Amino acid sequence: MRPNARSQLRIVVLDGAARIGAKILISGGGRCNVTHEIVRPEDFNGARPIVRNVLAAFDAEATVRWFASMGVTLKREETGKLFPTTDRAQTVLDALLRRCAALGVHVLTGHRVHDVVAASPTDDPHALRWRVRHEHGVLAARAVVLATGGRSLPRTGSDGAGLAIAERLGHRVTATVPALVPFVLGASFHPEISGVSQSVELQMFVDGKLADRRSGSPLWTHFGVSGPVVLDASRHWTLARDAGRAAEVRCSVFPGETFETIDRRLLTASRSRPRASLAGVLAETLPERVAAALARAAGLDPTTRVAEVARADRRTLAHRLSALVLPVERDRGWDHAEVTAGGIPLDEIDYRTMASRKQAGLYLIGEMLDCDGRIGGFNFQWAWATGFLAGRTAVRARCA
């Protein structure tokens, strides 16, 4: 480090929003799911070797230690998600801003950046190569970290403008689509069971081929369907549709069972309890409202005695229960998406430092990169890890 280099170090955060950290405040239902107890590369969609290396450099334990160093203790919930013990996202944001203040980082809100422009590289590592044009003027800088997020929830300030800046600097941006997003369903039974959650297996077919299979709990709503299993699967649907491909979501409400086992189950019930109602038999496994709605959706009266259901009707019902095709009309869009799928390809950054491979002195981090995690604190872990790598390197390079 050159003498006095630290004291000359000036770090400025320019944020277009009037208040910084909007997503932290609304995340995790206002509690901020900071990370997950176990973070594996498989929890992310993105170039696996690069994701693995980034996560290894700053893992969940590092996140826990880092927050502890800022006075924020985290607690683990049954699902493995970690939240602040206060159950308040504000605790997380306050700690980050306190740390900025302690380190002398200038945080300027209401400073939307319009463009970032580079002068030709020089041999002088201390040259102010960058011009950051923002709504109140121009800032000269030696290094620039782009951390403008993706396109999800644009009213928080993350509207994709940063992706356009990166493109102008020579980066590619792959197609960006909403991910961790609910589905709007066409005419179906969902309004009848709004508010109900149950276990299902969800299968996503793209051009007729199985693209994703996962189990979990959907949440039926007045507009369609949400819930962790749907949100996690949604990226496969949105990416496929964006590429003009056919996508179909099938749902088994008897996870682990097949058409044959469900049909046998109904047949056995019709013999052993012939007077039981169809809905009553289904409700031995399913929530009552779901049982009745699914029977009706198959064109059957839920109060019909199970023994009186014709063989063909029983088989149609068993087929639906094992592979119910959800009539997905559309995803709920950017205003309801928790994250962005697509972005700047990971092979355009150096995963050890998050430095751009296109421009010296430029770093790219967080959701603007082509990597998205599943529900559970993984997207923040990605933001913390990439931010750590870029920050460490940008400061070192500056002080060398």
Ligand X SMILES: Cc1cc2nc3c(=O)[nH]c(=O)nc-3n(C[C@H](O)[C@H](O)[C@H](O)COP(=O)(O)OP(=O)(O)OC[C@H]3O[C@@H](n4cnc5c(N)ncnc54)[C@H](O)[C@@H]3O)c2cc1C
Residues that bind ligand X (CB under 6 A): 14-17, 20, 23, 26-28, 32-33, 112-113, 147-149, 152-153, 157-158, 161-162, 338-339, 366-367, 377-380, 383
Which tokens belong to 90?
């504000």
Nearer to ligand X, 129 or 374 (CB): 374
Nearer to ligand X, 345 or 377 (CB): 377
Residue with tokens 């300030």: 157
Nearer to ligand X, 97 or 161 (CB): 161
Nearer to ligand X, 15 or 370 (CB): 15
DSSP designation for 120: P
Cβ proximity of 370 and 46 under 8 Å: yes
Least spacing, CB of residue 24 vs ligand X, in Å: 7
Least spacing, CB of residue 51 vs ligand X, in Å: 14
Least spacing, CB of residue 53 vs ligand X, in Å: 18
Hey, what's the torsion of the CAs at 257, 197, 334, 383, to 10 degrees?
-80
Pairing of strands 12-14, 106-108: parallel
Which tokens belong to 339?
């994250």
Which tokens belong to 31?
């509690």
Cβ proximity of 74 and 84 under 8 Å: yes
Q: CA-to-CA distance for 374 and 227, rounded, in angstroms? A: 12
Nearer to ligand X, 247 or 383 (CB): 383
DSSP assignment of 359-370: STTEEE-GGGBS
Least spacing, CB of residue 45 vs ligand X, in Å: 13
Q: CA-to-CA distance for 239 and 379, rounded, in angstroms? A: 18
Least spacing, CB of residue 336 vs ligand X, in Å: 8
Cα distances from 73 to residues 34, 99, 366, in angstroms, run: 11, 15, 23
Nearer to ligand X, 162 or 302 (CB): 162
Least spacing, CB of residue 383 vs ligand X, in Å: 4
